Amino acid sequence: MSERIPYDEFGLFHENAAEFGLSFDRPPTVRRESVALAGGRTLSALVWGDTPPELVLIHGGAQNAHTWDTVALALGRPLLAVDLPGHGHSGDVAPAATGRLRADGLADDVAVAIRALAPDAAVVVGMSLGGMTAMCLADRYPDLVRRLVLVDVTPGVTAAKAKAITDFVNGPATFASFDDILARTVQHNPTRTVTSLRRGILHNAVQQPDDSWVWRHRRFTPATGTTATAETRPDYGPLWDRLGSVRMPVLLVRGMRPQSVVDDADEAEFRRRLPGAEVARVADAGHSVQGDTPLELAALLEAFSFGPTAP
């Protein structure tokens, strides 16, 4: 038997601060909230601060709300970080959805949480699958999205571009030990510190009674019970038209390392569809900009959402 590893989801913020040189006089004010969804389901979220949230942060596929912890610490603003349905502490996706990655259904659920917990937020930020969700949210619920930030994602992301990520997500269903799950994660994220990856696993995986480990995110579609592989990923291309029709200010944050899933053609199409939008290239980030360069991302969000040109 392996040793039991204790986990306190609110007890690791000092590690985030220390790794990136942020001051840490006292733990931040963070609480977990649950919002009721249709069909008896629930959506869980982290609420940072004790005043109305100014930002909404939506994580990528196979992640959870804690992926934003360092960004949240750097911003120092009240915000809402959701666990998408099928991820983290949230319940399942809607049974009517044809697959775990159906962004419209996710947007409908996230809209309920925003109305309940962050109705006046200045900006909605979505990374990867969270970005697809945010695009649908901006299209379907524009009253909730005053400004939109897409982190390393456009509708041009294909199965081929995301293959390395999909292969990692669709790896072993269980791991015999924490060392095993950590080794696989380090192999997939060679530019990140082991400390940060260990922390991420504690937030995103659960130790079982037999001491094995499983990811928190649901690996199977509710409709078919099959693994959501690259071959079953939806075609997000039609979202280009919907993204091009939004009227709020939009920022695309693009990681420039090879791990990014956004290429020059995607950026060009983004600029063509939204000629007034902004693009920020982050040289030292891959796909997970919030994990690779959280301070740079926090500065971009601050300037775009609350800078001199923001309302």
Asked if 263 and 153 touch (Cβ cutoff 8 Å), the reply is: no
How far apart are the C-alpha atoms of 133 and 126, rounded to whole Å? 7
- CB neighbour list of residue 26: distance below 8 Å, 6 or more residues apart: none
Strand partners, 33: 45
User: What distance in Å separates the CA atoms of residue 109 and residue 118, rounded to the nearest whole number?
Assistant: 14
Query: Is 287 annotated as catalytic?
Result: yes
In order of 50, 81, 124, 134, 192, the CA distances from 119 in angstroms are 15, 13, 11, 15, 35
Active-site entry in 287, 288, 292, 305: 287
Catalytic residue among 83, 109, 152, 266: 152
- In terms of DSSP H, where are the helices of the chain? 13-19, 69-75, 103-117, 129-140, 163-169, 178-188, 194-204, 239-244, 264-273, 289-292, 294-306
Nearest-angstrom CA–CA distance, 217 and 8:
18
Phi-psi map region of 49: left, alpha, beta (phi>0 left; psi -120 to 50 alpha): left
Residues 210, 222 contacting (CB under 8 angstroms): no
Which distant-in-sequence residues (6+ apart) come within 8 Å of 65 by Cβ? Answer: 44, 45, 46, 57, 59, 81, 82, 83, 88
Query: One of 128, 196, 260, 288 is an active-site residue; which one?
Result: 128
Asked about 152 being catalytic, the answer comes back as yes
- Catalytic residue check, 23: no
Residues annotated as catalytic are: 128, 152, 287
